[in-house]
Structure 1
Amino acid sequence: MEIEILLPILFFFIALFYSSVGFGGGSSYLAIMSIFLTDFYEIRSIALLLNITVVTIGTLMYVRHRVFDWKLFWPFLLPSVPLAYLGTQMRLSEQTFFLILGGLLVLSSASMLIKFIKLNFQPREFGTWKRMGLGGAIGFFAGLSGIGGGIYLSPILNMANWKDARKIASLASVFILFNSLSGLLGLLSANTFTFDGQLTIRLTIGVLIGGVIGSYLSNRTFNTRLIGLLTAILVLYVGLRLLMLHGYGIKI
């Protein structure tokens, strides 16, 4: 099957899985495109565009259903945007970039899996300064790794039982949107933003449809636990694959 047909179909399912739990899918877009495309900056540019497409849909859905809460979320968002921009300005080799991304994804997936296996966590509140510190740190690593960062933030908040799952998913969606836009601006300012127009349109259509369906499911009385578990396993596989491929040259 040709890449022009295979990738949009594959990205449709990735967007469906990820958007159902408030994510954009940027990590998996990066990993999969690295198999088929050779231009490092093109891979990052397209992944950010697709991320923005998916989480914009999710954000609008959460706002419409009044799940989004600016009073709770602004401390996470305010410091993350400039630090995400700063992260995009770091010049990394392709190997270093994918090793960092792979390591962060493995840690993130481990946190997600622990949450599903062990559910009896004591609720924990985060004060304004703690939320700002956490948001800023994750924003920087989001910019560094070329994705929105919600996949790093959400497992931490879920493990701490900070708020209910839908509230955390809505924060993750908005967090990814803000940081992806900041990352895109960073690529533009560094003159490293580039993409294939025809391929990007096809991929955008695929994630747009998947994002609409996934966001719809996440805002209904639909048990997303199974989808969340599958997402955690997918993230783990993607992270391990990047580490093995770029660290040891082994394909899995």
Structure 2
Amino acid sequence: MALLEIQNLNRRFGGLRAVNNVSFNVEQGMIKAVIGPNGAGKTTLFNLIAGNLPANSGKIYFNNAQINGRKPYQIAKQGISRTYQNIKLFHGMTALENVMLGRHIRSKAGFMAGMLNLPWTWPEEKKIKEKSMEYLGLLGVAECADTEISNLSFGQQRGVEFARALATEPTLLLLDEPAAGLNIYETAEIGRLIMKIRGSGITVLLVEHDMSLVMDISDEIVVLSFGEKIAEDIPHNIQQNEEVIRVYLGDD
């Protein structure tokens, strides 16, 4: 069953077709990767799905409901969460506080009431804190809970960002270059974490340049070039696809 359906999606910036008539599905429970050269339209595609950009034409369905034109917070409430290539955590706050911010999208009291520490929000704030600690533990960074973000390593910050995304209780998680800036050991750990996330029942769509990671963890791969889809298949077949090799993978 398709959890996410992209139908003939288009996005232009002036005369540039950043996403050009792209269509594909993401089945529930899978890890699907989107790859391609720089400027292929991968991040623009994510911005369209998450509501950060409007499409010029085409349709996006999530859980059989069209989500075109909805605001990012509305899409997040429906069950789509994302991370960014450049980590977007709040400095001056601890790891736990960052994750709690993500969790507030599921709170009844709301973010502002929680920030004002109103007495009637205290029971729910306690539950939010407990749940946020669970996500930090799941991602292996619970020991960093009370540490200010700027004092964490890049890999630890990535783990906190994952935890914050999971705190929104997504059905679909969009990961934009999760291994960017990580060393080989941290990348291997990110791969294990993504598999663990999928094992918890969350569907994953990721953009990534690390081909070893992509080939190891993906069920299917979509390849973009100059905004167009040029291939969609299982990893083994993508590695053998002559056009993909010519455009992106190379002969090595």
TM-score where L is the length of structure 1: 0.29
User: Which of the pair has more CA radius of gyration?
Assistant: 2
Query: Which has the larger strand fraction?
Result: 2
More relative contact order, 1 or 2 (CA 8 Å, 6+ apart):
1
TM-score where L is the length of structure 2: 0.29
Query: Which has the larger helix fraction?
Result: 1
